[in-house]
Structure 1
């Protein structure tokens, strides 16, 4: 019984460590991306977009047929 609890505790610790490592990697990636964007702004370059394009908002003179 004690052996099972010890193994479960080690497994929980291993999962927590992997979670911390993944979070640290994501933070490093985010920092690199933000630094790159800041350098591009200083150089006058455009930012690369991620995700979906902006939605088109209808203008008052737009008529649907």
Structure 2
């Protein structure tokens, strides 16, 4: 009878590890999505800045009006 209690406690520890692993997996996935979104935003901003510069003269200075 005492052996049954030990088996139940071990199963709870395994469930806790699985639960923790699932939470970490979800957190990592959300973090990756957030970082990709930030990188896309930075590259979009950089490409729009480069587009403005390409419309100017070769020196990179804006024309005087």
Normalising by the smaller structure, the TM-score range is: 0.5 to 0.7
Is there any run of 5+ residues in structure 2 with no aligned partner, and where? Answer: 47-65
Is there any run of 5+ residues in structure 1 with no aligned partner, and where? Answer: 46-65
Tell me, in whole angstroms, the C-alpha distance in 1 between the residues paired with 2:40 and 2:4.
Answer: 54
More helix by share: 2
Question: 1:11-22, aligned counterparts within 5 Å?
Answer: 11-22=12-23
Shift of 1:35: 0.1
**How many residues in Structure 1 have an aligned counterpart in Structure 2?**
45
Higher radius of gyration, 1 or 2: 2
TM-score by length of 2: 0.67
